[in-house]
Structure 1
Amino acid sequence: MKTFCLVGLMLCHFKSLAQESNRADADYFYKKTFFYDQRGVNVIELAVGTSNINGDLPSPIFEIASRIGYKHFMFPHLNIGFTYNKFNIAFEDVYNEGFMSFDLNLEYVASPYQSFSPFLFAGGGYNASNYFVQTATKFQGGGGVEIIVATGFGLKIMADYNYVMSDELDGVVFGASDDAYWRVLFGANFYFGGQNKKERILKGVPTIINSNPIIKEN
């Protein structure tokens, strides 16, 4: 009798271990597919905000800034993106000029398998005043946070610092350093694509998980 009880206890223990293993496997694949369910490999980016210059004139003021861009994820943690930015540079009562920039960035997403994630980016670009009267190359870097509020749709707030390889951005050449400016933007990401990669991941799901799915609790 004791032997049967012992065997029963061992069977229950192994069954419990198997269930825990299945749950761990299900959690693993849920994590991997979350990126493709809630985000995606392609992103259309829209944002509006403000810009402010660190230049040679006194009393810089905040002006309007906007952005539209496209990003492609090479991996869930890393994407490459191109943006077109329209913004103004202004000093109180003396200067207000429209500019645009064309930026190429690498972006690192810290938590791609979660709804909330910080991100960092850096790259280079091309800065130009309206009608390309004044042009210069530049380098930029920044970061922000994003939250997924619906499938394929995220809201974010971000800031970037732009160092221009020219001292003429504000119309005045003065001092030893080139001009630079900040942008602070609030925007949205629209995700799409990636179902093929999701299907390849799901091919690795053990049969027992497919036949006995574990429902993820909210």
Structure 2
Amino acid sequence: MIAQHRCFSLLIIVINLIGFQSIAQEQIDIPEFKTEFYDLRGTNAFDVALGTSVINGDFADPQFEIYSHFGYKRHLTPHLALDFGYHKFNLAYIDQYNEGFMSFDLNVELLLLPHQRFSPIVFIGAGYNASNHFKDTAPKIQGGVGLECIVTNQFALKLYTDYNYVSSDTLDGLEAGASDDTYFRLAFGVNFYFGGADVKAKRVEAHATEIETNSITDDENRLKLF
């Protein structure tokens, strides 16, 4: 009887050790929870930029011209955002052509390192291109890449370039060649982030609840063994 009692006590100790190890493993397996995005940036942003634009059309000797941008960005997740922008720019050829344009673009933007101060950006979308006074209009698609650097919380510098394919061959006033006209833009600007504090608080609370729930479940499962 004494030997059986000792064996039973040893079995209980082993089960307890296994239970604690299981809890530790469960806690290790909980994904790392990051909130740096909400501290450095936010769920919304206004952005402005200034740069240059250049056409790729039917004439020779394209000329770099002025380009400006104003926009609003909404982050659906730290990595993914929708960006709506108004763009004002000129397209020109040396001593031949110079015309003012505007475009209204909607992009899906991917922020590759949202929890870091420095992050590459990739975006793609569609837009509407128009000459001054909406004399000529056409839909377009665009895509681009960029870099963003957080200077202080909620304030970032950015450098980006995009490629724009317009479904028209008369962007430069001449219909010629086998393909439609395109143009490039390159700009330096700033992002003013705001919002995100409430979202961060909710996510932190939900994560804490998840950890607590997992812990309680593990304790209950371990007690059932006895």
Give me the TM-score of the superposition, normalised by structure 1: 0.80
In 1, Cα distance between the equivalents of 2:79 and 2:118?
13
Give the number of aligned pairs: 185
Q: Report the alpha carbon displacement of residue 200 of structure 1 after superposing the two structures with TM.
A: 1.5
Identify the residue that residue 80 of structure 2 maps to in structure 1: 78
Identity across aligned pairs (percent)?
A: 55
Is it true that 1:58 corresponds to 2:60 in the alignment? yes
Calculate the aligned-residue CA RMSD, in Å. 2.0
Is there any run of 5+ residues in structure 1 with no aligned partner, and where? Answer: 1-13, 208-218
Q: Distance in 1 between matches of 2:37 and 2:80?
A: 12
Shift of 1:134: 0.7
How much has 1:202 moved relative to structure 2?
A: 2.2
Larger CA Rg, structure 1 vs 2: 2
Instruction: Tell me, in whole angstroms, the C-alpha distance in 1 between the residues paired with 2:192 and 2:58.
Output: 38
Higher helix share: 2
Q: What's the offset of the Cα at 1:176?
A: 1.1
The equivalent residue for 2:177 is: 175
**Superposed structure 1 runs of 4+ greater than 2 Å apart:** 204-207
Aligned pairs for 1:156-171 (under 5 A) are 156-171=158-173
Query: Residues of 2 paired with 1:52 and 1:190: CA distance?
Result: 27
Name the counterpart of 2:36: 34
What CA distance in whole angstroms lies between the structure 2 residues aligned with 1:126 and 1:175?
22
1:201 deviation in Å?
Answer: 2.4
Structure 2: state its 5+ residue gaps. Answer: 1-19, 213-226
Q: Does 1:117 align with 2:119?
A: yes
Residue of structure 1 equivalent to 2:46: 44
2: CA distance between counterparts of 1:170 and 1:89? 8
Compute the TM-score of the two structures, normalised by the length of structure 2: 0.78
Q: Distance in 2 between matches of 1:100 and 1:48?
A: 14
Give the match's secondary structure for 2:76: strand
